[in-house]
Structure 1
């Protein structure tokens, strides 16, 4: 019987590109200016298109701590919300009403903020990227590895199904990658909440500090996937982004998931790399059993891991998706 490879059908909603970090490889960050907050009308229109295309996941992202950037608060208040978290909560509820499960990647959040978003999010995520101190993060306080691991532990304490991952080729070493995977493993052994780990290769962006850095080689990606398969517990899915790497040639190395793919929106983090169409995704996974999943894996679709506000929708979608 062929091994199963999964993917999620989603809509990608960057509520703001304003960010307190300034990573050397990032082109997502934008200045505080008119249009720096995605209008609610656009969010809602995108959610409706996603629902029409059968999307089950609403992926909300925004720059880390945008309120720390001078002038941002004026724009979020003009949108009718006291802060970006309140806006995310409101849009998450809109997604739920349209039959989609919210998943939020918001950078560093406190225990209390995670608890607040848990009520309206089926799952959440934060890329660990690396446990190493690297020059690319010298202007990014939120990329302190200890701070990121602490937030991931808080998510475990709150029983939030969680996605994390490594970013390859940003200045880390092979030993750093092994240490990062071991740190994720240890968190999962303690809390049981890491549902998937993304092995993502850095893609250089024009106009950034690291535009001339080639990024991770195919061999580094392959080596890291082998490490991940050997280090991570078997109940943690290993994901490779199909728009950033030669995913078809990597599936045999322990990959079990192709991540979120949107028929409606672009990858706002890597806009130069379009998502593969669903029929192309099937070609990438040729020889495997390609199946759609939710943003929350089946073992977490129960009252222990899902808030009462979300549980009816999660159970309904899980019955339809997982059988």
Structure 2
């Protein structure tokens, strides 16, 4: 871990740890998959099933704007109409013919009406679909999770899923790379994969980044068991295993890669992540909960700032496009996005200090 921490420190961002002040918009919790660890996804007739209306989206975005948020995370199930065609009736009521059209329109609405910078995570995408969404997003994301095909066996985390095939998720990252879209990805540890699988997953991500340079961040996320799931009895990934994986990721991906682990999944020990080479806390919301892990509240930014400072680092706010990608000037998906980013960032790519909110 010492080697990983020292490697991170030998960069131009030495002693800086970043986070993004965001809102979380779960556009719809319908999905064509049923992963063994997920409580986010609902069926159309289940309690809690919901697709946000444009008015709902804009209301939350404006609330976030008033609280100094800069990012709007749009997260939703993967192509829910493939499994639940009835969602198309709802989308048509809103004036859209597909989930992709809806995501693009909501991204544009948020960008133009509030100035918040959308970052969309909506699953597998081909190049045509990315081309529709990207002009209104500052960056996009898809978790690789794991390249392990054993997870697709009976009882596995990805049993009977249709969107978690590693080749398809890697193709989405490559599609984005061909189109010049910065992507966040990562691995989920403790879901039945081996240490070798983790290294293989990182190797696949690194290969794409070597070709396109579009992997702006890698998330190392630990599994936390949830009630009412197939994996409710599986032990949580332990902190030491997480720290080792963070360190391996830093050593393997190099000094310049942005590496995150969400602090809300281990708030009591997240400060130790800084000793294992991470340089980012991810998105933190003063308004909305983590709808993927609703039982795990985000820490207050003031607390995160104190934990970061006590460990000898400076906490800085960023957009959903990382500072090195902002300052390079090569990763803006449209002139509209570019101008919005430049309005709130300094030449070094970080949020202007007078706009940071603590």
1:310 aligned residue: 337
TM-score (norm 1): 0.96
Q: 2:147 aligns with which of 107, 120, 131?
A: 131
Is 1:298–1:322's contact at 8 Å kept on the other side of the alignment?
no
1:47 counterpart = 2:74:
no
- What residue is the counterpart of 1:300 in the other structure? 325
Residue of structure 2 in register with 1:121 after alignment: 137
Deviations 1:115-163 (A, max 9, x none): 1111111100000000111021122110000111111111111111110
Q: Secondary structure at the match of 2:265?
A: coil
Residue 146 of structure 1: aligned partner:
167
Q: Distance in 2 between matches of 1:81 and 1:303?
A: 33
1:194 to 210, 215, 219: 215
CA distance in 1, matches of 2:128, 2:305: 41
Q: 2:336 is paired with a residue of what secondary structure?
A: coil
Aligned to 2:106: 91
Say yes or no: does 1:58 pair with 2:84.
Answer: no
Q: Within the alignment, does 1:77 sit opposite 2:98 as a pair? A: no
Following superposition, the deviation at residue 80 of structure 1 comes to 2.4
Residue of structure 1 aligned with 2:233, choices 212, 218, 222: 212
Check the 8 A contact 2:101/2:132 in 1, yes or no: no
Structure 1, unpaired ranges of 5+: none
Separation of aligned partners in 1, 2:68 and 2:288: 13
Q: Taking structure 1 as reference, are residues 303 and 219 closer, same or farther at Cα in structure 2, changes over 3 Å only? A: closer
* Structure 1 residue aligned with 2:3: none
User: Which segment drifts farther, 304-313 or 238-247?
Assistant: 304-313
1:289 to 301, 314, 319: 314
| Alignment of 1:7 onto 2:19 | yes
Task: Give every structure 1 segment of 4 or more consecutive aligned residues whose post-TM-superposition deviation is greater than 6 Å.
Answer: none
Shift of 1:291: 0.6
Q: CA deviation at 1:111?
A: 1.1
- 1:229 paired to 2:245: no
Match of 2:273 in 1: 250
Name the CA distance, whole Å, in 2 between partners of 1:54 and 1:140.
Answer: 38
Counterpart position of 1:321: 351
SS in 1 for 2:335: coil
1:156 match: 177
Count residues with an aligned counterpart.
323
Long gaps (5+) in structure 2: 1-8, 354-358
For the Cα contact (< 8 Å) 1:197–1:238, is it kept in 2?
yes
Query: Structure 2: how far apart are the matches of 1:284 and 1:142?
Result: 37
| In structure 2, C-alpha distance between the alignment counterparts of 1:155 and 1:220, rounded to whole Å | 31
Task: Report deviation, 1:311.
Answer: 1.4
2: CA distance between counterparts of 1:113 and 1:233?
31
26-35 or 49-58, which deviates more: 26-35
Quick one: distance in 2 between partners of 1:72 and 1:191? 35
**Mean alpha-carbon deviation: is it higher for 275-284 or for 299-308?**
299-308
> In structure 2, what is the Cα distance between the partners aligned to 1:296 and 1:170?
29
Q: Provide the rounded CA distance (Å) in 1 between the counterparts of 2:293 and 2:49.
A: 20
CA contact (8 A) 1:197 1:236 kept: yes
Instruction: Give 1:225 shift.
Output: 0.7
**Deviation for aligned residue 1:322:** 5.6
Cα deviation per residue 1:205-228 (whole Å; 9 max; x = unaligned)?
100000010121112101101110
* Contact residue 119 and residue 138 of structure 2 kept, 8 A: yes
